[in-house]
């Protein structure tokens, strides 16, 4: 190849290019493997108890309780009656709920958990009590798995959740509000009455409450 005197000619080597391509391919494969392992570790799974068939349960009313106050209320005033039977538990893992994923063992009393209960005298009424933290990237998958447990035709879903009063935006003093301080949101398909005032703007629903109502 003819060149001008003093011209710097870059050296081209197909072998070097192939090595770089192989390195990039290996890195892509390693990244994909790591991504699959993370997705598998953070997956949400439903584990039915042995006495159930594992299919979608006929359901007219599903109550989802998420957060310490909501799950505590359900435990004290609903499940304590003894008229409920656990159907399944939902296992998951994240940084804030490292011990809630035990696929082979149902969660013990007091442990962070997510359990689906069925009312004995009215089997079409179910409660999903979730005391473990569900990360943002797991919310859709969690909602999808829980809703797959029930037949959604003519289904009414009620989500009980809580948040810090410091996050509530209002021009009035919260000390002047009635106790308990309750607010509600409903979808356009719900035409029945609600038992508490509507959530005022610019407050928004987040977490399990938002995922449940948006499903």
Q: Give residue 33's pLDDT band: very low, low, confident or very high (50, 70, 90).
A: confident
Model pLDDT, residue 81 = 87
Model pLDDT, residue 52 = 59
pTM: 0.75
Model pLDDT, residue 58 = 92
Per-position DSSP letters for the chain, written without gaps between them: ----TT-------HHHHHHHHHHHHHHHHHHHHHHHHHHHHT--EEEE-TTS--SPBP-SEEEEEESHHHHHHHHHHTGGGS-EEEEEEEE--BTTBTTS--TTSPPPTTS--EEEEEESS-TTEEEEEE-S---GGGHHHHHHHHHTTB--TT-EEEEE----GGG---SS-GGGS-SS---B---TT--S--SSPBPPTT----HHHHHHHH-
CB 88 within 8 A of CB 55: no
Model pLDDT, residue 128 = 95
Model pLDDT, residue 109 = 67
pLDDT per position as a tens digit, 4-27: 555 555 555 555 555 665 666 666
Model pLDDT, residue 106 = 67
Residue 177 pLDDT more than 60?
yes
Model pLDDT, residue 167 = 77
Residue 143 pLDDT more than 70?
yes
Model pLDDT, residue 192 = 80
Query: Bigger pLDDT: 120 or 194?
Result: 120
Model pLDDT, residue 179 = 67
């Amino acid at each position: 190849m003819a060149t001008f005197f003093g011209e710097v000619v870059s050296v081209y080597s197909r072998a070097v290019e192939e090595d770089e391509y192989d390195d990039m391919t290996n890195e892509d494969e390693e990244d994909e493997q790591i991504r699959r392992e993370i997705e598998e570790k953070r997956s949400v799974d439903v584990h039915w108890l042995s006495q159930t068939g594992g299919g979608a349960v006929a359901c007219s009313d599903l109550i989802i309780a998420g957060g310490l106050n909501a799950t505590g209320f359900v435990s004290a005033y609903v499940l304590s009656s003894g008229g409920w039977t656990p159907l399944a538990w939902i296992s998951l893992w994240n940084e804030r709920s490292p011990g809630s994923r035990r696929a082979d063992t149902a969660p013990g009393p007091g442990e962070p958990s997510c359990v689906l209960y069925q009312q004995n005298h009215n089997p079409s009424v179910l409660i999903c009590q979730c005391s473990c933290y569900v990360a943002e990237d797991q919310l859709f998958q969690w909602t999808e798995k829980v809703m797959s447990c029930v037949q959604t035709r003519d289904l009414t879903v009620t989500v009980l959740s809580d948040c810090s009063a410091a996050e509530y935006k209002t021009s009035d003093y919260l000390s002047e509000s009635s106790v308990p301080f309750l607010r509600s949101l409903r979808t356009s398909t719900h035409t029945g009455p609600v038992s508490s005032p509507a959530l005022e703007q610019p407050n928004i629903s987040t977490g399990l409450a938002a995922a449940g109502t948006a499903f």
